[in-house]
Structure 1
Amino acid sequence: MRLVVVDDDGHYCELLSNELAEHGFSVEAFPDAQSMLEAIDSVAAADLIVLNWHLPRTNGIELMRQLKRRGLTLPIVFLTNRSLISYESLALKHGAVDFIDKARGIAILVHRLRLVIPTKAPEPRREALLQVGKLSLRPRSSRVSWNDVDVELTFGEFRIVNLLVSKLGQHVSYREIYDCLHYRGFIAGSGENGYRCNVRSAIKRIRQKFEACDPEFRAIENYPSFGYIWSRG
């Protein structure tokens, strides 16, 4: 969490920055309003602004007004020795989200800062997309589309297409295709090579589903006596 602190007490700012860093905060400190306003682009990237009440040639309330005029709407907390209720009321009236006495100590300060810093919702993860010509393949959701039309493959059929596309332009054996559906060396079908019939049936169903989206679909080609190849997308 990134804080901007405006306080003309350099020694205090240094101590504050070091202590807050131990609690996971990053602090950028400014000695006065002018230097802070000159770095407004950097300030805008912070999570929260911490102001002292009295500042050289101005005060925290006036600095708040200047920030609002510049369109900066970050939450602002006053951290000051001016603990009178009248100061606190004035700060809150002008839009401060909290007013903290410096004498309260770092533990209270950290707790209250965490209460007022907005929680940022995590950005939705964008699913990886493999694009090969007209084919769009989404491994995480096991979905395939052809020319932007969803091809309603079963999970097993998806695994076969994923295998063929991952070896684009290479011949993939019947055995390797069958193993991706079960496990390496799985035995099924009639005779030693009975699994080939199962693979042919699966490929036939896959082709039919793609052809329902595009009658000209020819991406899966057979290599006689060996297996199949995804030749193009």
Structure 2
Amino acid sequence: MTGSAVKILVVDDEPPIRKLLRVGLTAQGYEVQEAPNASAARQSVADDMPDLIVLDLGLPDTSGHDLLQEWRDKGLSMPVVILSSRTDEAGIVKALESGADDYVTKPFGINELGARIRVALRHRLQQQGEKAIFQTGGLSIDLVKRIVKVDGMEIKLSPKEYDILRVYVRQLRQKIEQIPDQPHYITTETGVGYRLREPD
């Protein structure tokens, strides 16, 4: 696997649906985690924050609407794609207004769901002020598929190497820079990498 696979948490109380999603999304290159109810979903998010959640509304212990609202109230911004058999307009509108990124009704096609997941991931990157593909010189990083290329050749990175390459530096800039997109303290030096800027 190249880089670190995008982690998707599937929250659904129906084992056949979870199996279908696990097989289908794994085939598309995603790392899939499963939760059969809201309690397990909360624990999974707390233990290992997913990149995206596929959420069923009809959970046995807490409604999907309430769980989504709970996450958004806590400031968690990971994309959430609702997967539900409910087709009433009021339910769909409520989910979208609660912070869902998309709504897919059962039955569904796995390829369509995969396309909607990619769109949700791209939209979230754009909202954070980032392009889906970061490019500088011969280096190209697909932030959705987590594919790194140098001069057109794909480079295999471990998950930790990928995180260091992109995520950690971005997080540091978000915390210490007044304007993260125009870094003053952690600068990028062509051909060298990142460096702490010396006093003027």
> TM-score normalised by the shorter chain: which range applies?
0.5 to 0.7
1:114-153 aligned within 5 A: 114-118=118-122, 119=132, 121=134, 122=141, 123=165, 140=191
Q: Which residue of 2 aligns with 1:225?
A: none
The 3 A distance-change label for structure 1 pair 27 and 93 is: same
**1:87 equivalent in structure 2:** 91
> TM-score when scaled to structure 2?
0.57
Structure number with greater Rg is 1
Q: Does 1:15 align with 2:20?
A: yes
CA-to-aligned-CA distance 1:178-220 (integer Å, 9 cap, x gap):
xxxxxxxxxxxxxxxxxxxxxxxxxxxxxxxxxxxxxxxxxxx
Q: Which residue of 2 aligns with 1:98?
A: 102
Residue-by-residue CA offset, 1:129-188 (whole Å, 9 max, x unaligned) = xxxxxxxxx9x57xxxxxx9xxxxxxxxxxxxxxxxxxxxxxxxxxxxxxxxxxxxxxxx
Whether 1:72 aligns to 2:76 is yes
CA distance 1:120–1:58, change in 2 (3 Å): farther
- Secondary structure of 2:107 counterpart: helix
Aligned to 1:29, what secondary structure does the other structure show? strand
Q: Which of 5, 23, 33 is 1:28 aligned to?
A: 33
CA distance in 2, matches of 1:36, 1:91: 17
Single out whichever of 63-72 and 30-39 deviates more from structure 2. 63-72
Q: How does 1:121-200 map to 2 (within 5 A)?
A: 121=134, 122=141, 123=165, 140=191
What 5-or-longer segments of structure 2 have no aligned partner? 1-5, 123-131, 135-140, 142-164, 170-188, 193-197
Q: Percent identity?
A: 30
Match of residue 60 from structure 2: 56
Provide the rounded CA distance (Å) in 2 between the counterparts of 1:120 and 1:73: 20
DSSP-derived class of the 2:23 partner: helix
Counterpart for residue 3 of structure 1 = 8
Give the drift of 1:34: 0.7
Is 1:108 aligned with 2:108? no
Q: Give the number of equivalent residue pairs.
A: 129
Distance of 1:34 and 1:74 partners within structure 2: 18
Query: Residues 106 and 34 (structure 1 numbering): CA distance in 2 closer, same or farther, change over 3 Å?
Result: same
Change (3 A) 1:104 1:39: closer
Q: Indicate if the aligned counterparts of 1:36 and 1:43 stay in contact, CA closer than 8 A.
A: no
**1:39 pairs with one of 44, 65, 69:** 44
Q: 2-side partners of 1:43 and 1:108: how far apart?
A: 26
**Contact 1:4–1:50 (CA<8 Å) still a contact in 2?**
yes
Aligned mates of 2:59, 2:52 — CA distance in 1: 18
Secondary structure in 2 matching 1:39:
helix
